[in-house]
Structure 1
């Protein structure tokens, strides 16, 4: 009886473990489907946004006026890109975004953790390029104002956390809430150390407005369909790369393929140096 009882207990434990393993597998598939659905759900919106951008984008309205003040640490041609990650990372992820764009928020909220993981592990460096397509299509100035505020956050060395907060708190596309400085200050308070007199002055004065307009002009002059536009080493991966749709797993796979045989980056960019406001001098 003892042997039978022992065997019975082992059998029960094995059945329990098998059921746990099956449940874990089901949970993993469910999480993958949820994330994939969130990303794939962007595709229809992206197509619509792209079509609107192609039909109504007016280059003459986006050139801006006055001197172009690039945010601290901006890189690339005409200093129109905000970098993140090791400068010697083997691959570059370029993201053209509009803070009022619903498809951009869906993309960011679905793959943000993966992008951060790839940046932190030195697999990629990111280049964020900001545009104002929704302002042109819907009216208002929230795209411009939020992009300027994000550039001000870059001056303070806090672009990425503020960028993420803006997308996590994006208003409805028809609600131009980001046009109000107070809304941007309210969200800046969610990023430790950002809501300072220097940041508020930078936002209120529209210090980087002309730079944002210059970036938008570069987007309109490019061969892009709409926002978000996401490129891996210059090749479009959103909404698809070849015949494969973007997903968390595919993004990791594409980066791994691009980086095969290459070492992760380790060189840190120079930290952004915030400019003191008169009140802080």
Structure 2
């Protein structure tokens, strides 16, 4: 059987696990690079070296973009108000998600588990906390992770975080295409959420008042020991620690049901 045919038969959850391993590997390479030559050897000429080395121009640009006071979106919770809550906060099952809107593994997780998560939230059995990070901006350069996270925080201010969050993942560009670095694209996607694309939302997206909050989220994530995105934790236990028993929608339902009983 050819490699192409073999790949075509993999399940969605296997592709998600593989993508997440790729994200972890990429982050590890970034931490351990000691010379620009090493970057060139691994990635070739197709990707700009300055965009991938720690302390590169892209990183400096994002530091300038995140200058200013730390302003959390309305309703954010947790230490330093870095998490956006969704669902019944009295639910016994608590899903903690660290995500990057440019991260393809995050897109696979959201598009694969969205209906299940919303179903459980709708029943009052699950609450979720979303922390938005900029790992792909740091690895590949660009601003799409940062600008999309700020826009999502603006949507939270407008009471429409979850709907906009979902639309960003439904419209997610390829990882190497920094489409979300263009604010016009973020506003275009906002048109898919009724009542969101108002003058106040547009100003929030353009001005980036939550950029420093997003950077704080990334800094905290970098120090947390988590290895990549998506990081998904249910009641304190990572759901991706055991690749031999990958997460499925049915398994998630079972884990939430067990948490309800506990």
Q: Which TM-score bucket, shorter chain as reference? A: 0.7 to 0.9
Q: 1:59 to 1:252 in 2, by over 3 A?
A: farther
Q: 1:54 and 1:122 mapped to 2: Cα distance?
A: 38
- Specify the alignment match of 1:54 in structure 2: 28
> Which protein, 1 or 2, shows the higher relative CO under an 8 Å CA cutoff with sep ≥ 6?
1
Q: Is the 8 A contact 2:17 2:246 kept in 1?
A: no
Q: CA deviation at 1:239?
A: 5.7
Structure 2 equivalent of residue 45 of structure 1: 19
Q: Which residue of 1 aligns with 2:40?
A: none
1:102-136 superposed Cα distances (whole Å, 9 cap, x missing partner): 01001100000000011111111100000000001
Alignment of 1:41-190 (within 5 A): 41-56=15-30, 64-190=66-192
CA distance in 2, matches of 1:240, 1:82: 27
- Return closer, same or farther for 1:213/1:59 CA change in 2, 3 Å cut-off: farther
- Are 2:98 and 2:229, in contact at CA under 8 Å, matched by a contact in 1? yes
Contact 1:59 1:220 in 2 (8 A): no
Going from structure 1 to structure 2, the CA distance change for 1:55 and 1:222 (only over 3 Å counts) comes to: farther
Distance 2:28 2:74 in 1: 31
> Equivalent residue for 2:236?
234
Number of aligned positions between the proteins: 226
Q: Find the counterpart in structure 1 of residue 253 from structure 2.
A: 252
Aligned partner of 1:203 in structure 2 is 205
Q: Give the 3 Å change call, closer, same or farther, for CA 231–59 of structure 1 in structure 2.
A: farther
Q: Distance in 2 between matches of 1:48 and 1:99?
A: 16
Residue segments in structure 2 that go unaligned for 5+ positions in a row? 1-7, 32-53
- Deviation, structure 1 residue 91: 1.4
Q: Is the 8 A contact 1:165 1:187 kept in 2?
A: yes
Per the normalisation by structure 2, the TM-score is 0.82
Match of 2:205, SS state, is helix
Q: Which blocks of at least 5 consecutive residues in structure 1 are unaligned?
A: 1-33, 262-281
Provide the rounded CA distance (Å) in 2 between the counterparts of 1:209 and 1:104: 20
Contact in 2 for aligned 1:40/1:247 (Cα 8 Å): no
Superposed CA offset, 1:28-80 (max 9, x none)? xxxxxx9x922331111101101222342659958743210000000000000
Alpha-carbon RMSD across the aligned residues, in angstroms, is 2.0
Say whether the 8 Å CA contact 1:43–1:239 is kept in structure 2.
no
Is 1:95–1:128's contact at 8 Å kept on the other side of the alignment?
Answer: yes
| 8 Å CA contact retained: 1:86, 1:122 | yes
